[in-house]
């Protein structure tokens, strides 16, 4: 196990180096001159040159790359151009609200999707199975904007059960008051594609030889599905969940924007609108690092779920 972890961590280094170089090239050449963005349209050449010196972009390319690498290693990307707030503080303060919504949403989506997929496996091929798949297709065809507008109208404006916007200082208040409706909307949007995907994972295992052998030995269908099939179907489910976790931080920007949640996704959209490169670069690098870490965690979970999996 230790040798495997060391080898995987070592393999992450060239991947991370490639991400760093790509981000550096995109923002330093493709993104334009940040000095002009900060100085404004009416600035003279002296002011632009002064900003270039402050940012270090008047240095040779290898020096600029070294500065960028130092920022990554020290978790210090300077201050945001639009607000002057330290980038590290922006990420630290916005991560909590995002996780308050995304962690319960991911857990509910995963466990509810697994339970429904296993339940459908009992009635596969029946009218109920077909009706559920049609409902999932309809649900997937509806835009998330429709869900947000409809749920806000009925549950917030009409019934007054939830606030439309806002965020507090207490985790309990945010989770049970402000984040509850965004979680419900996120679950309504994601459960249809998740159920269809998990159903395919379960049905792939139901048709395997070991299932027919278990039936021949006299095991009940419930035990076969909930014990044997679930263990083997858990491998692709773990892959799906872990691969989506980093993207969820950015992908929930619509929920955060419509409900006024001060999360990472909303911050990324604001940074793009303001051309705030330090914030965008920091979040891009950290999401890439999180993706590699979650991929490693997925490999470790494979063996925990199925001891037959060998980490080599």
Is 312 a residue whose pLDDT tops 70?
no
**With bands split at pLDDT 50, 70 and 90, how would you rate the model's confidence at 194?**
very high
pLDDT in tens, 24-71: 888 777 666 676 666 666 666 777 777 777 777 777 778 888 888 888
Cut 0.85: pTM above it: no
Reduced to 3 states (helix: H, G, I; strand: E, B; else coil), residue 50 is helix
Is 248 a residue whose pLDDT tops 90?
no
Instruction: Give whole-number Cα distances, 189 to 91, 144, 145, 194, 202, in Å.
Output: 26, 6, 10, 9, 21
Mean pLDDT of the chain: 84
Lowest mean pLDDT among 12-21, 76-85, 143-152, 176-185: 76-85
Here the tokens at position 75 are 């978790």
Q: How far is CA 125 from the centre of its chain?
A: 33
Share of the chain above pLDDT 90, in %: 14
Q: Summarize the confidence of residues 89-103 as an average pLDDT.
A: 89
Query: In the chain, where are the structural domains located?
Result: 2-74, 88-305
**With bands split at pLDDT 50, 70 and 90, how would you rate the model's confidence at 310?**
low
d(CA 124, CA 263): 40
Q: Summarize the confidence of residues 73-89 as an average pLDDT.
A: 84
Here the tokens at position 39 are 């100085």
Is 251 a residue whose pLDDT tops 70?
no
d(CA 265, CA 244): 14
Is 184 a residue whose pLDDT tops 90?
yes
Confirm if 9 and 21 have CB atoms less than 8 A apart. no
What residues are paired with 86 via a beta bridge? 79
At 188 the pLDDT is 92
Name every residue whose Cβ is closer than 8 Å to that of residue 263 and which is 6 or more positions away in sequence.
Answer: 94, 95, 97, 98, 101, 249, 252, 253, 256
**With bands split at pLDDT 50, 70 and 90, how would you rate the model's confidence at 165?**
confident
Lowest mean pLDDT among 70-84, 140-154, 184-198: 70-84
At 1 the pLDDT is 67
pLDDT in tens, 118-164: 888 878 888 988 999 999 999 889 888 899 999 999 998 888 888 88
At 311 the pLDDT is 65
At 111 the pLDDT is 92
d(CA 81, CA 38): 7
DSSP for 145-171 reads HHHHHHHIIIIIIIS--S-SS---S-H
What residues are paired with 79 via a beta bridge? 86
**With bands split at pLDDT 50, 70 and 90, how would you rate the model's confidence at 192?**
very high
Residue pointed to by tokens 């992908």 = 251
Is 255 a residue whose pLDDT tops 90?
no
d(CA 292, CA 298): 10
Q: What is the CATH number of domain 88-305?
A: 1.10.3720.10
């Amino acid at each position: 196990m230790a040798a495997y972890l060391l080898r995987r961590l070592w393999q992450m280094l060239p991947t991370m180096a490639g991400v760093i170089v790509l981000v550096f090239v995109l923002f330093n050449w493709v993104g334009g001159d940040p000095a002009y963005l900060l100085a404004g349209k009416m600035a003279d050449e002296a002011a632009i040159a002064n900003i270039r010196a402050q940012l270090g972009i008047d240095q040779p390319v290898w020096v600029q790359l070294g500065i960028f690498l130092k920022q990554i290693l020290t978790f210090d990307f300077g201050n945001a151009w639009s607000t002057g707030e330290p980038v590290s503080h922006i990420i630290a303060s916005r991560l909590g609200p995002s996780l308050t919504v995304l962690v319960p949403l991911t857990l509910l989506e995963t466990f509810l999707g697994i339970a429904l997929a296993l339940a459908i496996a009992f009635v596969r091929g029946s009218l109920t199975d077909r009706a559920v798949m049609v409902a999932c297709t309809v649900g997937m065809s509806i835009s998330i904007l429709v869900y947000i507008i409809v749920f806000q109208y009925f549950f917030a404006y009409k019934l007054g059960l939830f606030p439309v916007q806002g965020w507090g200082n207490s985790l309990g208040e945010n989770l049970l008051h402000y984040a509850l409706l965004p979680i419900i909307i996120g679950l309504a949007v994601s459960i249809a594609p998740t159920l269809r995907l998990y159903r395919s994972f379960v049905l792939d295992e139901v048709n395997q030889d070991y299932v027919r052998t278990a039936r021949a030995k006299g095991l009940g269908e419930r035990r076969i599905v909930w014990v044997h099939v679930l263990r083997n179907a858990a491998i692709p489910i773990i892959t799906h969940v872990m691969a989506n976790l980093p993207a969820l931080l950015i992908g929930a920007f619509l929920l955060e924007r419509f409900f006024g949640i001060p999360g990472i996704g909303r911050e990324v959209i604001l940074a793009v609108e303001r051309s705030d490169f330090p914030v965008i670069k920091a979040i891009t690098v950290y999401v890439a690092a999180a993706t590699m870490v979650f991929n490693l965690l997925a490999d470790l979970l494979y063996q925990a779920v199925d001891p037959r999996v060998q980490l080599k």
